[in-house]
Structure 1
């Protein structure tokens, strides 16, 4: 004669199979099923049911676990791109289950010990662990709401490390503070709810044998240990690991600086082609989108000076230039060194254009309106420090007020004249957000398209005037040879997303690129101008600036030349099939071009 199971046994099996089928259902409906491990589903359902049995399936235990499971699932579904962020819904549920069951076990253990100190320690771990278990998905939900449903990326973490207080303040001033406040309020409210349920759980916790609880906790710990080596499936850990790898590479680049310079000095001496000797000026723009430039077909007159330059004999304005990344440090690290998206040169071994031009005999200048440092030394800091003369008009302190330093005053920082071959790099703040901080009130020329677009267009118009001022001064240098305007990346002001990598659009990497050669330079090397004009309608990414500058500056015996990536070479061969951005993770094509009609 069959006997029915006692109530706790029925509950055990009900919880076990409900949890298991929920996980399997999420796995089958998800798009990342290849990343989930089957055994984790069984372990999660078993652990949840067994620990639940020790709690006598108290209502507070079931409520708390249900809320946490819901939060973990919601943290995935609040991201539009959750299917591509490296963590599936079923994985989120299983990690939430593992953490909840492990930390709730400490509450059982605290009620089962008579030692006051041990009980206090157990309860501290219990409350703190459950709060952290709830905080993880809450942060994910909050970020998902504020970011518009985008996943946290390693690039964004890098941006935080490489941002100074002034930039951070400008960024926050542009963000929807209501959503930030709502997210923080939600985190606070749900944290209070979780703590309240944790207290109710503890009051309802039965006294169990410590040995049984410890055995279950040991099994949970072993399960966690077995899955930790495979934690690359866990999106947040994978993201942080990726960011740490990049930061370590930057640190290694700094450490290897002297080794690179010593290695360079041991190579055959570099020299300057006699036909190229003179002064060259590279202006590095900031957050400049060609989609908002009149010279590229934009309907607002934002570039009167560039419009005039476009018809000059020595000017080449390229039709399809792109940034190699939508963040300053990542983009310029490649643009100014021999490392690019298409070669296998380790970053730590990559010479910079400053290294080579200085070694060849150029007097090198770095004049910057960007902040001098952040929480982390970057390759740009290392590259610029190699210059013989460097000026940071914002100083090294990077206080918030520094970020509004008038760009036009940079012109006064330029040398009045140079009497030897020189390579001068000027790094602008350009159109970096907050856009309204980037121009004087007299340049508030546009209105009617929203505060972001209007302010951005005003900043583009002001930068155009700054470029004009710089050009008019340097063209009078004795033996002036060339002028280049090359931004680090583009911008997407319409969406309000600026150039955030976790909200990537191709507008964030569509940049302008202008090269001007003086009549003297063209007379000495007419083939350079000919090849630039020949290639101006081909795609080009700014990580190839190093290759172009080697040729323009006439540096001979350069240790690593890739002529197929040099715009002045007849063998230049980058095309739409090969062109990449975001450090090789995204493919460019003519479909990424809304318009590009040089006036």
Structure 2
């Protein structure tokens, strides 16, 4: 009975939060979720009164039935317990084996984990090594510092740079004249694992294992760069995280959310000191990945008290939402505000260096925080909305970078429609690395760029999908 109750609760809770079934892509994320993230998830979503009511009713019922049977209760109501028990079992069967909308959770979980394990073995053998046998790279002799900032769960819908009504980007706004703000960029997926698989490797929708799943870190290694990975995300969930496998191919990898931060909040400012130390080294060719925790759920844990600026009790929201939702929106916007501080600080620090440098910032995916679907916050592939796909994509070049001389040309590119699954080609273009897999038509900063259908889910054109939302 307890197992049946647990499975029912998991599936119904997920459906009530997202309006979608619990699927394989979601289970992939579970397999890489650590205990800290699990607790944050539970504390965020189980504030929902419907979930609490569901848990309480089903839980109490199961307990009552169990003890009634155990104590051999012989009241007239005992027959009702019997029939109610049968009802629960039937309901469980429907929820777990429903042929219309859902898949069996146990079978889906087992199959997903088997598939996940096979993918992990492939990743371990191919992506964790410094070089790739599938790539032929020309050595780049250009001295430079190249920085890739990978955000987390940050949608452009809540960024002041993209027209959000709150000033959530005050620091980046000060740098606006030196930024290239791309307006039509989407993430290929709304879950971190599958999204970063496409963004940080040569795989895409049509070619899930193109180039033997070669990563950007390996490309840079082979081009002669000293590579660094600085992360404020946990390395371990049930399994080592996908991003960590890519990180281990770098010359130096630092995971700052480990050990003493394991059960406490680690703000993204921890990456700044490490970043400053790296850019002050004497190495002349550096590639630095900064992997932020960004605006990941639980939003209230993503910023220090000094960034608790947006408070709906004092500032009216432009939408009719209840106080619980207002609070969640406030926390998310404060997290975006803090994220603005972190990204701008990276740019400010590197701008002081007398070297050619480039900064790229994007998020792995976004969250819908009651923007399109007024009943959910967060992200789910099955019930995905535009805010979950539409992410910020920013470029910054130092005054020593020749690309600054092409200002008007680059600004003419900022409205191009782009899917980050092709980021490896833009990355190659910006880095100045030539290799056998480079396609200029897939680089958003190349004059040979060609717009294409941006495919999501099972081959759906995103622009068609968005029009229906």
Q: TM-score range by the shorter chain?
A: 0.7 to 0.9
The match for 1:303 among 143, 164, 169 is 169
Counterpart position of 2:40: 170
Distance 1:168 1:249 in 2: 23
Counterpart position of 2:269: 408
Distance 1:475 1:454 in 2: 32
Counterpart position of 2:466: 592
What does the per-residue CA deviation read over 1:234-254, in whole Å, with 9 as the maximum and x for residues that have no partner?
Answer: 554664334542442133211
What does the per-residue CA deviation read over 1:144-163, in whole Å, with 9 as the maximum and x for residues that have no partner?
Answer: 66436421111221111111
Residue 431 of structure 1, CA deviation: 0.9
1:165·1:398 contact (CA, 8 Å) conserved in 2? no
Which structure shows the bigger proportion of residues in helix conformation?
A: 1
Counterpart position of 1:82: none
Counterpart position of 2:241: 378
Distance 1:592 1:192 in 2: 47
Counterpart position of 2:429: 551
Distance 1:133 1:303 in 2: 47
Does residue 455 of structure 2 align to residue 571 of structure 1? no
Counterpart position of 2:199: 335
Does residue 439 of structure 2 align to residue 562 of structure 1? yes
Distance 1:443 1:307 in 2: 17
The match for 1:352 among 215, 221, 232 is 215
Q: Which has the larger radius of gyration?
A: 1
Counterpart position of 1:511: 391
Residue 381 of structure 1, CA deviation: 1.2
Distance 2:280 2:467 in 1: 41
2:300·2:331 contact (CA, 8 Å) conserved in 1? yes
Q: How does 1:56-95 map to 2 (within 5 A)?
A: none
Distance 1:323 1:148 in 2: 19
Counterpart position of 2:8: 138
TM-score, scaled relative to structure 2: 0.80
Summarize the Cα distance change of 1:133–1:299 in structure 2 as closer, same or farther, 3 Å threshold. Answer: closer
Summarize the Cα distance change of 1:133–1:371 in structure 2 as closer, same or farther, 3 Å threshold. Answer: closer
2:188·2:389 contact (CA, 8 Å) conserved in 1? yes
Q: How does 1:414-425 map to 2 (within 5 A)?
A: 414=275, 415-419=278-282, 420-425=284-289
Does residue 416 of structure 2 align to residue 538 of structure 1? yes
Distance 2:125 2:356 in 1: 36
Summarize the Cα distance change of 1:260–1:372 in structure 2 as closer, same or farther, 3 Å threshold. Answer: closer
Summarize the Cα distance change of 1:156–1:233 in structure 2 as closer, same or farther, 3 Å threshold. Answer: closer
What does the per-residue CA deviation read over 1:351-396, in whole Å, with 9 as the maximum and x for residues that have no partner?
Answer: 1110010111111111111112211123311110111111111126
Greater length-normalized contact order (CA 8 Å, ≥ 6 residues apart):
2
Residue 347 of structure 1, CA deviation: 6.3
Residue 469 of structure 1, CA deviation: 1.3
Summarize the Cα distance change of 1:133–1:435 in structure 2 as closer, same or farther, 3 Å threshold. Answer: closer
Summarize the Cα distance change of 1:490–1:259 in structure 2 as closer, same or farther, 3 Å threshold. Answer: closer
What does the per-residue CA deviation read over 1:520-556, in whole Å, with 9 as the maximum and x for residues that have no partner?
Answer: 2226x856x5654333112112222211111111112
Distance 1:550 1:581 in 2: 23
Residue 570 of structure 1, CA deviation: 2.2
Residue 292 of structure 1, CA deviation: 0.7
Distance 1:532 1:370 in 2: 32
Residue 180 of structure 1, CA deviation: 4.1
TM-score, scaled relative to structure 1: 0.64
What is the root-mean-square deviation of aligned Cα atoms in Å? 3.2
Question: For this pair of structures, how many residues does the alignment match?
Answer: 420
Distance 1:191 1:511 in 2: 46
What does the per-residue CA deviation read over 1:411-445, in whole Å, with 9 as the maximum and x for residues that have no partner?
Answer: 11112514311111111111111111111111111
The match for 1:466 among 342, 353, 365 is 342
What does the per-residue CA deviation read over 1:187-231, in whole Å, with 9 as the maximum and x for residues that have no partner?
Answer: 44247649979999xxxxxxxxxxxxxxxxxxxxxxxxxxx9x9x
Counterpart position of 2:131: 261
Distance 2:130 2:341 in 1: 38
1:354·1:386 contact (CA, 8 Å) conserved in 2? yes
Distance 2:362 2:103 in 1: 38
Summarize the Cα distance change of 1:260–1:487 in structure 2 as closer, same or farther, 3 Å threshold. Answer: same
Q: How does 1:187-586 map to 2 (within 5 A)?
A: 187-188=58-59, 189-190=61-62, 193=65, 234-236=103-105, 239-240=108-109, 241-242=111-112, 244-257=114-127, 261=131, 263=133, 268=136, 270-272=138-140, 274=141, 276-312=142-178, 315-341=179-205, 343-346=206-209, 349-395=212-258, 399-401=262-264, 404-414=265-275, 415-419=278-282, 420-448=284-312, 449=317, 450-494=326-370, 495-522=375-402, 532-556=410-434, 558-575=435-452, 578-582=453-457, 584-586=458-460
Residue 270 of structure 1, CA deviation: 2.9
What does the per-residue CA deviation read over 1:489-516, in whole Å, with 9 as the maximum and x for residues that have no partner?
Answer: 1111224421233442221111111011
Q: Secondary structure at the match of 1:407?
A: coil
Counterpart position of 2:321: none
Q: How does 1:113-192 map to 2 (within 5 A)?
A: 131=1, 135=5, 138-139=8-9, 142-143=12-13, 146-147=16-17, 149-177=19-47, 178-188=49-59, 189-190=61-62
Q: Secondary structure at the match of 2:338?
A: helix
Counterpart position of 1:98: none
Distance 2:67 2:378 in 1: 38
2:441·2:449 contact (CA, 8 Å) conserved in 1? yes
Distance 2:166 2:340 in 1: 13
Residue 182 of structure 1, CA deviation: 3.4
Distance 1:260 1:410 in 2: 23
Summarize the Cα distance change of 1:543–1:247 in structure 2 as closer, same or farther, 3 Å threshold. Answer: farther
